[in-house]
Amino acid sequence: MGFFNSSFGVLALLLATVVLPNASRAAVATPPPSGDADAAAVGIDSTCTKPHVRKEWRRLTIDERKSYIGAVKCMMGKPGVAPLDAVTNRFEDFLATHIVQALDSHFVGVFYPYHRFLLSRYEQELWECGWDRGLGQPFWDWTLDVERDEDLFKSPVFDTDTGFGGNGGWIGGNFTHPAPGMIVQPPQDVPDRTGGGCLQTGPFADLTTFLGPQNNTDKKGRNCVRRDMAPASLRNMSGPARVAEAMQLPNYGSWERTTDGVSLHPGGHWGVGGLYGSMTDLWASPADPVFWLHHSNLDRAWWSWQTRDPAHIYDISGPLVFFDYSNKMAGNLTLDSTVWNGLGDYRKGDDGRKAHAHSAGRAVLRLR
């Protein structure tokens, strides 16, 4: 699987790979940045003249939504390149990468740059499959679906025709006493969960993979993508109040640790994955195509935080080893650190330094 050594000179560029948030509806206390003026305010030179625009899912036209779904299905129909028997298509190359590198890319300082890069590579594969090159990976603004529990189930993101399908069927049990044969994914109970069964509706109904659950990369037998939606979990961890709190965090270390804790990042995962769902699987969550919309919004949130203070743009820190927040095992992440990454076919020789804009599309930035 094309593992490569990437200097953190590249990381510095990834820190400033801009993703401009949706200026039309901000779920934060202060409006997120939305144009060249905001870029200038944090000392970034806008040089990219043709950004691809990351739109919130419901701001895509119906034809665009269907085109995106078609591009994902195209990836699922292309041969994979990862040297694992369990990988059967290009979509699963990204799933396998995430599984193999899960403990190196979560609860560590590189969490946000790593996933920003992964999103960029995924976008490129979407374009190869016919997705509009003027558009980037769409995002799911969780704050639009949390006012009432039913908002999550009625969200256009989970539409059965022009979205990603709905919930899984109900499966009983809890964290202490799970249903027979079921694997509990999160580290605690999810009392507001509502499903747990295989995805049965929408364009990805009955989607299965040999990869997962958890860190399995062997071809042992197919398992289905599961949904176990938990609306209160989404609201409590990824709602407007939590987003506003996150935007006030003083430095990257506190940003990463807080939002990767019981906050924005797990909120989207738990809100869709609950107790048994694929999205709550630390390793194999990209098995659910909604993963990419969730992480696109998380990247949007990071960029919004970055541009609130010039000091945030290149601010980086955090553990080098999984959950080593005391830095006792391996020290602290810096711009001089080296990170390993594996993204399957790296044939284009591109390091992911792409300009993005979220919805407004008015500013395109690139450093150096």
Q: Is residue 258 part of a domain?
A: yes
Write the CATH number for 259: 1.10.1280.10
Distance of CA 97 to the CA centre of its chain: 14
Q: Are 297 and 200 in contact (CB under 8 A)?
A: no
Instruction: Kindly tell me if the per-residue pLDDT of 368 is higher than 90.
Output: no
Q: Is residue 168 part of a domain?
A: no
Per-residue H/E/C for the chain: CCEEEEEHHHHHHHHCCCCCCCCCCCCCCCCCCCCHHHHHHCCCCCCCCCCEEECEHHHCCHHHHHHHHHHHHHHHHCCCCCCCCCCCCHHHHHHHHHHHCHHHHCCCCCHHHHHHHHHHHHHHHHHHCCCCCCECCCECCHHHHCCCHHHHHHCHHHCCCCCCCCCEEECCECCCCECCCCCCCCCCCCCCCCCEEEECCCCCCCCEECCCCCCCCCCCCCEECECCCCHHHHHHHHCHHHHHHHHCCCCHHHHHHHHCCCCHHHHHHHHHHCCCCHHHCCCCHHHCCCHHHHHHHHHHHHHHHHCCCHHHCCCCCCECCCCCCCCCCCCECCCCCEEEEECCCCCCCCCCCCCEEECCCCCCCCCC
Write down the residue that tokens 């959950």 correspond to. Answer: 323
Q: Are 14 and 352 in contact (CB under 8 A)?
A: yes
Tell me the pLDDT tens digit for each residue of 24-64.
223 333 334 344 444 444 455 556 777 889 999 999 999 99
Q: Is residue 205 part of a domain?
A: no
As a whole number of angstroms, the distance between CA 231 and CA 248 comes to 25
Tell me the pLDDT tens digit for each residue of 302-315.
999 999 999 999 99
Q: Is residue 349 part of a domain?
A: yes
pLDDT score at 95: 97
Tell me the pLDDT tens digit for each residue of 148-172.
999 999 999 999 999 999 999 999 9
Please state the φ and ψ torsions of residue 100, each to the nearest 5 degrees.
-60, -35
Instruction: Provide the residue range defining the domain that includes 78.
Output: 3-163+214-219+232-271+279-358
Write down the residue that tokens 């905001």 correspond to. Answer: 38
Q: How confident is the model at residue 133 (pLDDT cuts 50, 70, 90)?
A: very high
Total structural domains in the chain?
Answer: 1
Instruction: Kindly tell me if the per-residue pLDDT of 352 is higher than 80.
Output: no
Residues 6+ apart with CB under 8 A from 155: 58, 140, 144, 145, 163
Tell me the pLDDT tens digit for each residue of 225-241.
999 999 999 999 999 99
Tell me the pLDDT tens digit for each residue of 192-223.
999 999 999 999 999 999 999 999 999 999 99
pLDDT score at 48: 74
What mean pLDDT do residues 305-331 have? Answer: 91
Q: Is residue 41 part of a domain?
A: yes
Q: Is residue 144 part of a domain?
A: yes
Q: Is residue 182 part of a domain?
A: no
Q: Is residue 169 part of a domain?
A: no
